Amino acid sequence: MMRILVLPLFQMSSGHHKVADTLIDFLQKQFPTVLCKKVDFLSYCNEYIEKVISEMYLRWIRSHPKLYHHVYKTLMYPDFGRLEFVHLEPWLPYFEYKMKKMVEKEQPQLIICTHSFPSRILQRLKKRKVVKAPVINVYTDFFMNGIWGKRGIDYHFVPHADAKRELITKYHIKEEQIIVTGIPVHEKLMSKKVENRGKRRPFHLLLAGGNQGLGNMIDFFEKMEGSRAFQYSVLCGTNKKLYEEISSWRQPHIRPLPYISDIEEMNCLYHEVDAVITKPGGVTVSEVLHKRLPLFTIGYLPGQEQINLRYLEEKGLIYNLSGLDDYEQRILHVLNDEVEQNRFYKRIAEYFSQIEKTAQDALKEIVMVYERENHVLLK
């Protein structure tokens, strides 16, 4: 039995958890004798601390977004040394102690970090040889913040070739330890959307990101001015208020959808639509890029999403509608202009051309090496 520990952070739904679940699902199907355990490291340390920090985090983002972005970019985006020394140094021994106890209890043969904070703690423990199990960083954004452990981590699954070059040149990580996997998505979501719409009208738009509240959605529909040029499916997630609000409109061309947990159902929805409007979160954007769907954003959270957006705009992988008075004209231009669409598809192809292998294939190879070296029969 090979034991694998997967470490996201916080209990709230996030890309860190989504990637963790994707990799666990793959491993358990591929290797029936592998035992995976997902642990929210912060809750493991102290559930009260996790609850307080997560609530403060959400409140801070919503009430002071510009300040949050400034602090994030200043302290967490560059190297972590300044933040570690000034703000977290007194706390780090506590988290190291908790991590050491968890590893001693679980006895994993492999540890996968889908969040930067557990990675940072493990880097410190591995440097002192307190933890010997191999550790994999699986990055879930289009950049690597300064909290991630870099040196001392065994493998890095990075989102693009630029990140690989950064690890090699800035942190002197060996090339063979770094694999350009892109941001992992479930295998069922990797297939391209079959283009069969012909001259079908109206265009079908998928709006995602409803967990962040009513504001962006209401603003979007106001700026569309009730346009019947589109059919809308709105993913409301766990936001019951948004679901009930849209349902109360009784508009047949606007369909609210509750949280979708089934991968196959989500895959079918992607294949129904002509474009996606969402926040620039790493995992959702990666799913849409795999489907080769035109991708728009009308808003973003400060910090991670704002930095993701900068990368995506530089590479021409997203259309930013924020700040525009007329969304409809811009969306229709992209969906009706074959030249623009072909340029967009070419940019997506260029992004995927740098992918060396999927995270699933890279993980499979690592587990198989463990199997050979330890003479463990894994099916």
| CATH code at 188-353 | 3.40.50.2000
Task: Tell me the average pLDDT across 187-210.
Answer: 78
pLDDT band at residue 293, thresholds of 50, 70 and 90? very high
**Residue 86 — very low, low, confident or very high, per pLDDT cuts 50/70/90?**
very low
Query: How high is the pLDDT of residue 211?
Result: 60
Whole-number Cα distances in Å, 42 to 16, 48, 136: 13, 9, 19
Closest CA to 116 of 84, 89, 94: 84
* CB atoms inside a 10 Å sphere around CB 287: 23
- Give the pLDDT score at 378: 43
Q: What is the rounded distance in angstroms from the CA atom of residue 171 to the CA atom of residue 19?
A: 25
pLDDT of residue 372: 79
Pairwise CA distance, residues 145 & 87, whole Å: 17
CA 305 to chain centre: 10
The predicted structure's pLDDT at residue 300: 80
> Three-state SS for 135?
strand
Q: Which residues pair with 119 in a beta bridge?
A: none
List 37's β-bridge partners, or say none. 5
Question: Is the CB of residue 181 less than 8 Å from the CB of residue 359?
Answer: yes
What would the pLDDT profile of 347-359 be if each residue is shown by its tens digit?
Answer: 999 999 999 999 9
Query: pLDDT tens digit string along 7-34?
Result: 998 766 678 899 999 999 999 999 988 9
What DSSP designation does 187 have? G
Distance CA 236, CA 254 (A): 12
Mean local confidence (pLDDT), 44-48: 70
Average pLDDT of the chain is 86
> What stretches of 155-229 adopt beta strand conformation (E)?
155-158, 178-180, 203-207
Contact 39, 102 (CB under 8 A): yes
At 134 the pLDDT is 96
For the chain, the domains span 2-182+355-374, 188-353
Best CA proximity match to 7, nearest among 134, 166, 116: 116
Contact (Cβ atoms closer than 8 angstroms) between residue 297 and residue 322: yes
Q: Determine the pLDDT at residue 89.
A: 57
CA-based nearest residue to 266, from 279, 292, 251, 284: 284
In three-state form (DSSP H/G/I as H, E/B as E, the rest C), the secondary structure along 346-376 is HHHHHHHHCCCCCHHHHHHHHHHHHHHHHCC
Q: What is the pLDDT of residues 234-292, one digit of tens each?
A: 998 888 888 998 999 999 999 999 989 899 999 999 999 999 999 999 999 999 999 99
By mean pLDDT, which of 73-82, 277-286, 318-327 is the weakest?
A: 73-82
Question: Residue 185 corresponds to which tokens in the numbers above?
Answer: 């998505």
Averaged pLDDT, 50-62: 61
Residue 379: pLDDT over 70:
no
pLDDT at 355: 97
β-strand 254-257 against 155-158: which pairing, if any?
unpaired
Strand 203-207 to strand 178-180: parallel, antiparallel, or no bridges (unpaired)? unpaired
Q: What is the structure's pLDDT at 255? A: 93
As given in the structure block, the two tokens for residue 253 are 């061309």
Task: Name residue, tokens 């403060």.
Answer: 56
Q: Which long-range contacts (CB under 8 A, 24 or more apart) does 85-92 make?
A: 92/121, 92/124
pLDDT tens per residue, range 303-321: 788 899 999 999 999 999 9
**2-182+355-374 and 188-353: identical CATH topology:** yes
Helices 92-106 and 116-127: crossing angle in degrees, nearest 10, is 80
CB of 183 within 8 A of CB of 144?
no
Tell me the CATH architecture of domain 2-182+355-374: 3-Layer(aba) Sandwich (3.40)
